[in-house]
A and B are shown apart, each in its own frame.
Chain A
């Protein structure tokens, strides 16, 4: 079973999510696979260092 600590939803603000997509005009967005990896990093990424 998950501990209580793990059960907490990871809080990522709408702004941080929007930052991933706010990279110039919509028609110049990077490939989705790349966007997905950035989104996944927000939620389950390991802190570097």
Chain B
């Protein structure tokens, strides 16, 4: 605002989240501060994280701080503090004290002009509430292309419906990116709130589904290119999201998007492996959500087996057997279980690590894998038993351990019936394995 244009100044001063313009125009910063500071104090009682703002944007001195009198560097520093406050206050915007506090940011620091995107993203999860159009009434007319979809709602001071936001996120990539960056920043700073993360995850998931549906309208060749383009666009955002620690909801949001990507696009195994490694590379604790997402990706992979790093992360989970059995009751995780089983067998040959055999037996006997997958495992067990060099140390007697495993499985009701035929196909040609498995082979012949 031109400092010499007093009318324009008065007009700018009358823009308010809480008061009618005529009332706002008459308020001085002393009386305003008093009202807004009350709201801020109430917020501090609700959450001690707010206390950090008492010395800057809510200090006594703030009454006299005028952005137009500050240097560019001071303004930049102020922007950072204001944006952190907006991130933190976002979860409480349905509460009066929060609106009183944001009023100070509007009236004193003009966040609606200088931090427009941040203000909009803070309020966006509340797009259906009456405060949203009030907030839109503050927004300057020259809205950035990133948020252009809000233009008609700014003009009519109406609430944008959910589908308008999903549609914008599906066709306007800068908007999708900016929204994601805002949410990721809040999570990285530990200032996130559940409403924001749920909002982002749900909008982003639906938008990605819509992007992929739109890509299908093209010719086959163009379809593939469009899908690759969408994957290239999303992977950096998802990698960023998965690298944030201690925000399980954010991870689950990334899993939701990965689920849509993997099931709606035709991805090659290499891309699916990259995704699996991204999921497992930084998971700090066992979570059903992570295993479910791996299960989704494994179902879409053509070749059986998990990437090495993903397998190592999965096998390190403390209660993997219980987790897989529990999940296997609700989800089709045949290919994930197969990947784990094949990983265990393969580890026997390389590291002579027989510690996974108990888990392997549990997986085979549980109702998780299909008959075809169980056959693949038995074939792999036989092949491993025949190719691993014998040893005198019984702790590392891989062939012996595997033969014992096959004998146990042969007696089990769920796997037993498939063992003889699979053995016959894999034809344990000679040597100790054949003699140890005679009982199973004979049962087929009899």
- CB pair B128–A26 under 8 Å, yes or no, is yes
Cβ of B209 within 8 Å of any chain A Cβ, yes or no, is yes
Q: Which residues of A in the span 2-20 have a Cβ within 8 Å of any Cβ on B?
A: 2, 6-7, 9-10, 12, 14, 17-18, 20
CA distance A15 to B233 in the complex (A): 24
B77 within 8 A of A: no
A23-39 interface code vs B (CB 8 A; 1 in, 0 out): 00111011111011101
- B residues 102-156 touching A (CB-CB < 8 Å): 125-129
* CB–CB B195/A41 < 8 A: no
The B interface, classified by DSSP as helix, strand, loop or mixed, is helix
Are A10 and B292 in contact (CB-based, < 8 A)? no
Contact indicator A26/B127 (Cβ below 8 Å):
yes
**Selected contact of B249 from candidates A27, A31, A37, A39, CB within 8 Å:** A31
Determine whether the beta carbon of A29 is less than 8 Å from that of B198.
yes
Give the contact stretch, choosing among B42-50, B329-337, B389-397.
B329-337
Candidate in A6, A12, A17, A44 with the most chain B CB atoms within 10 angstroms: A44
* C-alpha spacing A25/B94, complex, angstroms: 13
Q: How far is the CA of A36 from the CA of B291 in the complex (A)?
A: 12
* A21-B202, A26-B128 known; A36 vs B332 contact (CB < 8 Å): no
On whether A10 and B249 interact (CB within 8 A), knowing A27-B125, A43-B296, the answer reads: no
Q: Are B213 and A14 within 8 A (Cβ)?
A: yes
Q: In whole angstroms, how far apart are the Cα atoms of A37 and B292 in the complex? A: 8
- Of B198, B213, B295, which contacts A35 at CB under 8 A? B198
Is B224 in contact with chain A by the CB < 8 A criterion? no
Q: Would you call A27 and B199 a contact (CB within 8 A)?
A: yes
Chain B residues lying within 8 Å of A18, measured Cβ to Cβ, are: 206
* Shortest beta-carbon distance from A12 to chain B in Å: 7
Q: Which of A6, A25, A31, A40 has the most CB of B within 10 A?
A: A40
A47 to B175, CA, bound (A): 37
> Are B129 and A27 in touch, CB under 8 angstroms?
yes
Q: Using an 8 Å CB-CB cutoff, how does the interface string of B200-213 with A read, 1 for contact, 0 for none? A: 01100110011001
| Bound form: Cα–Cα A1–B269 in Å | 11
Question: Nearest residue in B to A23 (C-beta to C-beta)?
Answer: B202
Assess the B329–A46 pair: CB atoms within 8 A.
yes
- How far is A19 from B329 in the complex, measured between Cα atoms in Å? 24
Instruction: Kindly state the separation between the CA atoms of A1 and B263 in the bound complex, as whole angstroms.
Output: 17
Contact A36 B210 (CB under 8 A): no
Kindly identify which residue among A10, A22, A30, A36 contacts B255, using a CB–CB cutoff of 8 Å: A36
Bound complex: CA A35 to CA B197 (Å): 11
Partner of A36, one of B126, B252, B264: B252
Residue of B nearest to A3 (CB): B372
- Given A1-B302, A14-B209, answer yes or no on A35-B331 (Cβ-Cβ < 8 Å): no
User: CB-CB < 8 A to A46: which residues of B?
Assistant: 329-332
| Residue A45 at the chain B interface, CB threshold 8 Å | yes
Docked-complex contact B293 and A40, CB < 8 angstroms:
yes
Please give the distance in Å from B418's CB to the nearest CB on chain A. 17
Task: List residues of chain B with CB within 8 A of the CB of A25.
Answer: 128-129
- Asked if A32 and B209 make an inter-chain contact with CB atoms under 8 angstroms apart, the answer reads no
CB closest residue in chain B, given A38: B256
Please provide the chain B residues from 206 to 233 with a CB less than 8 Å away from any CB of chain A in the complex: 206, 209-210, 213
* Contact of A27 with B330 in the complex, beta carbons under 8 Å: no
Tell me the smallest distance from the CB of A44 to a CB of chain B, in Å: 5
Which one of A35, A39, A46 has the greatest number of beta carbons of chain B within 10 Å? Answer: A39
Q: Which residues of A contact B289 (CB under 8 A)?
A: 33, 36-37
Given known contacts A35-B198, A45-B330, A26 and B249 CB-to-CB distance under 8 angstroms: no
- A27: chain B residues at CB < 8 Å are 94, 125-126, 128-129, 195, 199
Residue-wise, chain B 146-171 has the 8 Å CB interface mask toward A (1 for contact) of 00000000000000001000000000
- CA A22 to CA B166, docked complex, whole Å: 12
Write out the residue numbers on chain A whose beta carbons fall within 8 Å of the beta carbon of B296. 40, 43-44
Q: List 12 A-B contacts (CB under 8 A).
A: A7-B302, A9-B263, A17-B260, A18-B206, A26-B125, A27-B125, A27-B128, A29-B198, A29-B202, A32-B202, A40-B296, A44-B332
Beyond known contacts A27-B94, A35-B201: 7 more, CB 8 A cutoff = A26-B128, A32-B256, A33-B248, A36-B253, A36-B292, A43-B296, A44-B295
